[in-house]
Amino acid sequence: MPELPEVEVVRRGLRQWVPGARIDSLEVVDQRSVRRQIGGVQSFTAGLIGRVLQEPCRRGKYLWIPLPADGVSGHRPPTDRPEHALVVHLGMSGQLLVDTTGTPDQRHLRVRLQLSGPEVSDAAAPHGEERTETELRFVDQRLFGGLYLDRLVPAGDVAGQSIPSSVAHIARDPLDEHFSMSTLHDRLRRRRTGLKRALLDQSLVSGIGNIYADEALWRARLHYARPTETINRTESSRLLAAVQEVMKQALAEGGTSFDSLYVNVNGASGYFDRSLQVYGRAGKLCSRCAGAGRETLIRREKFMNRSSAFCPVCQPVPRRARR
């Protein structure tokens, strides 16, 4: 399932195309991709036709595009505060692709939004120039993702910020400017569980999945089963720094793409999988130990119906482990 870096790569790609674009028409090819929409396809269509898309937003693994109250477009962004948003959940295989009109449909195309770019004034537009027309396509092979309209509510902890009501329970993520290390430390200490289990809890800290949890814990030299109530403030700070470091590196490399499912809006795959240190490397040498002259093999253990990868030397098993 795509994690924070993969979703942020998509958001940044959308930011180049959708702000100020108007939805002229849409086609729901597969109704299962709008199954979360109250009122079904009819409500989804009526709520989007003629609306102007604003700057895409993200929290953790959730992505949304705010919609102004009316359908007024133009080369100047709408000034009214949006009350609703188009929410996108990529699920395991969802893709948001930007294509020019007429491009052949993808095999697993589920929803098509016909967009017209921000109108250029007659005085500024070259003679005979037309508005650029593009399509925003939702492609989803496994159908775990979807699109729906949702009401925006106050974020609560920051004045003036809004968030879809269905996402309000999701905690801020480590790359959010309002994310607090002190808050994270206090929450970890109160949780009384294993460290990796806490990192995967989206109500505690969002955007971290199995891959980046393993990578961050390796960088922070902390075992995945370390009891959260034993973490001191220095270790919490080191862990947060490791999480942010691995997320930023993954972003710079376009995310992690093990197959063709995780792509940006242009269909290009990321290459952070080449930089992974422990995830998917069971039985291979730990690079940090190798640099110190030790031949330590990465170990893989079952964890929460999946697995955890770690170095038994860099990340020693705690005396009192919580799995």
User: Confidence class of residue 128 from pLDDT cuts 50, 70 and 90?
Assistant: very low
pLDDT over 70, % of the chain: 85
Please count the structural domains in the chain: 2
pLDDT of residue 304: 87
CATH of residue 11: 3.20.190.10
Binding site members? 108, 142, 191
Q: What is the mean pLDDT of residues 107-117?
A: 93
Sign, CA dihedral 206-211-214-218, equals: negative
CATH of residue 252: 1.10.8.50
User: Confidence class of residue 150 from pLDDT cuts 50, 70 and 90?
Assistant: very high
Nearest to 147 by CA among 96, 84, 87: 87
Residues 9 and 147 placed together within one structural domain of the fold = yes
The CA distance from 12 to 113, in Å, is 19
Residues 225 and 295 placed together within one structural domain of the fold = yes
Residues 222 and 88 placed together within one structural domain of the fold = no
Domain end (from 167, 193, 216): 167
Could you read off the pLDDT of 189-236 as tens digits, one per residue? 999 999 999 999 999 999 998 988 999 999 999 999 999 999 999 999
Residue of 107, 306, 319, 320 with catalytic role: 306
- Whether pLDDT at 59 is above 80: yes
Could you read off the pLDDT of 87-99 as tens digits, one per residue? 999 988 888 999 9
Residues 87 and 161 placed together within one structural domain of the fold = yes
Domain end (from 167, 195, 210): 167
Domain end (from 167, 200, 223): 167
Residue of 2, 56, 78, 174 with catalytic role: 2
- Whether pLDDT at 252 is above 70: yes
Domain contains 39 = yes
Residues 36 and 70 placed together within one structural domain of the fold = yes
pLDDT of residue 17: 86
Residue of 11, 58, 61, 196 with catalytic role: 61
Residues 260 and 133 placed together within one structural domain of the fold = no
User: Confidence class of residue 5 from pLDDT cuts 50, 70 and 90?
Assistant: confident
Q: What is the mean pLDDT of residues 46-70?
A: 92
- Whether pLDDT at 159 is above 90: no
User: Confidence class of residue 137 from pLDDT cuts 50, 70 and 90?
Assistant: very high
Domain contains 317 = no
User: Confidence class of residue 258 from pLDDT cuts 50, 70 and 90?
Assistant: very low
Active site residue 61: yes
- On whether the CB atoms of residues 213 and 224 are closer than 8 A, the answer is yes
Domain contains 54 = yes
Residues 139 and 232 placed together within one structural domain of the fold = no
Domain contains 14 = yes
Residues 163 and 296 placed together within one structural domain of the fold = no
- On whether the CB atoms of residues 219 and 242 are closer than 8 A, the answer is yes
- On whether the CB atoms of residues 7 and 209 are closer than 8 A, the answer is no
Residue of 3, 6, 8, 215 with catalytic role: 3
Residues 8 and 154 placed together within one structural domain of the fold = yes
- On whether the CB atoms of residues 49 and 86 are closer than 8 A, the answer is no
Active site residue 306: yes
Q: What is the mean pLDDT of residues 284-296?
A: 96
Q: What is the mean pLDDT of residues 278-298?
A: 96
Active site residue 2: yes
The CA distance from 26 to 99, in Å, is 14
Residues 196 and 219 placed together within one structural domain of the fold = yes
Kindly report the pTM of this predicted structure.
Answer: 0.85
Binding site members for DNA? 108, 142, 191
**Which range of residues forms the domain containing residue 90?**
4-167
Residues 144 and 244 placed together within one structural domain of the fold = no
- Whether pLDDT at 321 is above 80: no
Residues 145 and 201 placed together within one structural domain of the fold = no
